[in-house]
Amino acid sequence: MTDIRIGSINAKGLNTPIKRYNLMRDMRRLKVQIMLIQETHFKKKQTPLLRFRGFSTAVTSTPYVNKSRGVMILIADSLGFTLTMSHSDNLGRFLFLKGLINGTTYTIASIYLPPTEQHTALTEALQALSEFEEGTVILGGDLNITLEPILDSSTGRSSIPYRKIETLKKLLRTHTLIDTWRLTNPTARDYTFYSHPHNTYSRLDYIFIRHIDVGLLKGADIDVITWSDHAPITCTLLHKPPHHRPLTWKLNDSLLRDTETKKELIQQLRQYFQENKTENIDPWTVWMAHKCVIRGELIKIGTRKKKEQNAKLQQLLAKIQHLETQHKLSKLVHTLDALTQARKELRDAHSSFLAKAIEFNKKLFFEHGNKCGRLLAAALKKKQLRNHITKIRSTEGSTAETSSEIAEVFRKYYTKLYQLPDSKLPHDKDSYKKQLCNSYIQDSKIPRIPHEAKTILDSPMTTEEFLFAIKNAKSGKAPGPDGFSISYYKEFGEHIIPHLVEASNSITPDKNIPQEALEAHIVLIHKKGKDPLDPGGYRPISLLNVDTKLYAKVLANRLNQIITDLISPEQVGFVPGREARDNTNRLFSIIHQCKKRSIPAMLLSTDAEKAFDRVDWTFLKSSLANINLGPKMQSWISTLYTSPTAKLRINGELSLPFHIRNGTRQGCPLSPLLFILSIESFLSRIRNNPDIGGIKIGKREHKIAAYADGLLFMKCKSVAIFYLKLFFRFSF
């Protein structure tokens, strides 16, 4: 079993960023996964843009008339909650959510009762809840009433008539709702609200569960009053654990903005390479091990800074708790003054952390906020990546619903996609396939690389090339499995890149990049308009290690210098200096001339399904050899396709690894160039085949226009289908 931590607080308004920041800090400090919030004070048509990191499920209920009242529920992404239904009233007094957590149904309710006629409002809310609820019920909120005045009020009495209190308690008993804090603290006295005008404390905030679920309750607590006039309350319930989620480390880029941290890391890097760089140790071993050492150092520094920050906050919280306990007992004015001052110090401490974040974001949005650039792209990508996959259909037709089952369905799907069978080839398929590919490509009459260019391409990779790739790499990208972002390379490039260059140049036909360097994590984004139950309806985004991407980028930059001489003008995809509109303008001109001269014409637009994923490696390597690429360049490229593996990240879980046997790697800077090189032989055969007619305008015959994997055939005869099949025989 594992735990679900539920919290509830009357926020007394969440319209300001500082209050939302304080709420988020309390949620993290208390490790809350479900937060029930009352008195949000949002207007129906002026609700602020709410973004709580790690809590993408954020549902609000606001009144139609004014901004008083309002309730809200936040649910952590870590729970994998799947929302199936919601219900709320028009007054902003209650909000119900129903959904699944790891296959178990939960009903979660946030409620805020008025200061008067609480029993009437609660009757209406519980009646609505009884018609809505299913599974385990969690109900929390501010009832504006003390259920046990003797224990729940510092005065020992209530201004509300006891008969109304008894009516409300009877209503709760009728619905078998149990007060979690009182159940675990039957005789204790503690309070959640302080009234300054009356100088009294009372317990008005509660979290209830059904009597049948009492066995799930592990504990309940009341925290201290800090930024609101109510204290947050929490309770912990047992829950069936999800599939084990392996922890993955990711570099906190903010650590690299600290001068002292950078000095520590530079010293550590110098010491490491000085002690470990010897002739007897393989350069790749030294390079891969250095990441482990620096990862440990960054974890240590991050933990230390977090402890220092938390220690300061915990000291202030302990001081507040001590003064609050004293004031609850004594009601002395000087104790209240000291308590108020301590709360101010805590708010100031929180504000200083928030001020730095706001200043950084203001600078970022001032520079990029009005541009359709990476900020917008990142926002859209985050929105897409937050999509939780609730179910998927397997190839057998059954439906998987738990995260582990869903991950396994996707793993089988991509294993099949990236390991296409060679059922049509004989038993000695490797040699036969190589012979077949070479024969096909050599007859395609593709231009070859001159000897001078071949020598330049085969020259050793340099530090300058890697630093240039780093300089032009975009920041803010998600890191690969090793957790190191491009920020690490931008900050420490001059100290680490020479060692990566040495390792890269050590690659030979018999010595490859380590397998762990080629591993990728794949996240899935649903394609708009596609069946969400179909594994093929998701776009895979591969997260590769940055050092591998830099290595590939250096090779891509070299190929870019000669690619225009190798690729025909009909292909505009991924060729420097060419754009899609080049082919589009040519097409419009052809259509215009056909109409003007009454030339009969036919256009056939095709798009190969998962073309990049289906490229055959034998065909690709034969294509590289045929263009006269040097042996070193061939080895440097081929090593990226020796034994790569991938894991799928589904709903926060990593699948078992699977091997990749075909396709150009998505996310690799070299992949687009390799793809257009592999397809060029097919395009060349179409251009040079007299049996495939095109549209003749003047002295030029137009047969095809290529947009990477999108092909547009012009006046195709039926014989062209034969060549399409022949091409896909090699790509599949």
Model pLDDT for residues 84-111, shown as the tens digit of each residue: 999 999 888 999 999 998 888 999 999 9
Give buried/exposed letters for 239-260 (b at 16+ CB in 10 A, else e): beebbeeeeeeebbbebbeeee
Average pLDDT (53-58) is 88
Banded model confidence at residue 404, pLDDT cuts 50, 70, 90: confident
Percent with pLDDT over 70 in the chain: 89
Backbone angles phi, psi at 599, to 5 degrees: -90, 120
Residue 380, pLDDT score: 43
- Taking the CA of residue 474 as centre, how many other CA atoms within 13 Å lie in the half-sphere pointing to its CB? 9
- Cβ–Cβ under 8 Å, residues 7 and 242: no
Q: Mean pLDDT highest for which of 116-130, 369-383, 552-566?
A: 552-566
261, 245, 243: which is closest to 253 by C-alpha? 261
Neighbours of 630 (CB within 10 A): 18
pLDDT at 682 over 70: yes
Banded model confidence at residue 718, pLDDT cuts 50, 70, 90: very low
Distance (Å, rounded) from C-alpha 537 to C-alpha 539?
Answer: 7
pLDDT at 528 over 90: no
Backbone angles phi, psi at 360, to 5 degrees: -65, -45
In this prediction the pTM is: 0.73
Residue 443, pLDDT score: 84
Name which of 222-231, 283-292, 395-404, 693-702 the model is least confident about. 395-404
Banded model confidence at residue 387, pLDDT cuts 50, 70, 90: low
pLDDT at 231 over 80: yes
Q: Spell out the domains of the chain, with CATH numbers in brackets.
A: 2-239 (3.60.10.10), 254-370 (no CATH), 392-731 (no CATH)
- Higher-confidence residue of 103 and 532: namely 532
Residue 385, pLDDT score: 44
- Taking the CA of residue 203 as centre, how many other CA atoms within 13 Å lie in the half-sphere pointing to its CB? 23
pLDDT at 424 over 80: no
Residue 488, pLDDT score: 97
Residue 232, pLDDT score: 96
Q: What DSSP character marks residue 153?
A: B
Banded model confidence at residue 452, pLDDT cuts 50, 70, 90: very high
pLDDT at 369 over 60: no
Average pLDDT (422-450) is 78
Average pLDDT (677-705) is 89
Distance (Å, rounded) from C-alpha 370 to C-alpha 289?
Answer: 42
Banded model confidence at residue 599, pLDDT cuts 50, 70, 90: confident
Residue 108, pLDDT score: 97
pLDDT at 374 over 70: no
pLDDT at 596 over 80: yes
What is the per-residue pLDDT across 278-293, written as a single tens digit (0 to 9) for each?
888 999 999 999 999 9
Residue 422, pLDDT score: 59
Banded model confidence at residue 262, pLDDT cuts 50, 70, 90: very high
What is the per-residue pLDDT across 312-368, written as a single tens digit (0 to 9) for each?
888 888 888 888 888 888 888 888 888 888 888 887 776 666 655 665 565 555 445
Banded model confidence at residue 306, pLDDT cuts 50, 70, 90: confident
Mean pLDDT of the chain: 87
Average pLDDT (76-90) is 90
- Cβ–Cβ under 8 Å, residues 677 and 623: yes
Q: 283-291 — which CB contacts under 8 Å span 24+ positions?
A: 283/499, 283/502, 283/503, 283/506, 284/503, 284/506, 284/513, 284/514, 284/517, 285/514, 286/499, 286/503, 287/499, 287/500, 287/503, 287/547, 288/514, 288/516, 288/517, 290/496, 290/499, 291/482, 291/484
pLDDT at 506 over 90: yes
Distance (Å, rounded) from C-alpha 256 to C-alpha 412?
Answer: 39
Distance (Å, rounded) from C-alpha 506 to C-alpha 512?
Answer: 9
Q: In one letter, which amino acid is 567?
A: I
Residue 358, pLDDT score: 61
Distance (Å, rounded) from C-alpha 239 to C-alpha 2?
Answer: 5
Distance (Å, rounded) from C-alpha 63 to C-alpha 486?
Answer: 46
- Higher-confidence residue of 143 and 731: namely 143
Neighbours of 187 (CB within 10 A): 6
Distance (Å, rounded) from C-alpha 686 to C-alpha 414?
Answer: 32
Distance (Å, rounded) from C-alpha 50 to C-alpha 515?
Answer: 42
Q: What DSSP character marks residue 536?
A: G
Percent with pLDDT over 90 in the chain: 55
Using the Cα atoms of residue 35, residue 41, residue 43 and residue 46 in order, give the sign of their dihedral: negative
Instruction: Characterise 696 by phi-psi region: left (phi > 0), alpha (psi -120 to 50), beta (else).
Output: beta
3-state secondary structure (DSSP) of residue 162: helix
Q: Are strands 520-526 and 645-650 parallel, antiparallel or unpaired?
A: parallel
- Cβ–Cβ under 8 Å, residues 294 and 249: no
Distance (Å, rounded) from C-alpha 14 to C-alpha 110?
Answer: 16
pLDDT at 377 over 70: no
Average pLDDT (217-222) is 94
- Higher-confidence residue of 728 and 138: namely 138
Residue 245, pLDDT score: 54
Banded model confidence at residue 384, pLDDT cuts 50, 70, 90: very low
- 13: tokens are 């308004």
What is the per-residue pLDDT across 605-664, written as a single tens digit (0 to 9) for each?
888 888 888 899 999 999 999 999 999 999 999 999 988 999 998 877 789 999 999 989
10 Å CB burial of residue 687 (0-12, 13-18, 19+) is middle
Residue 432, pLDDT score: 78
Average pLDDT (535-548) is 93
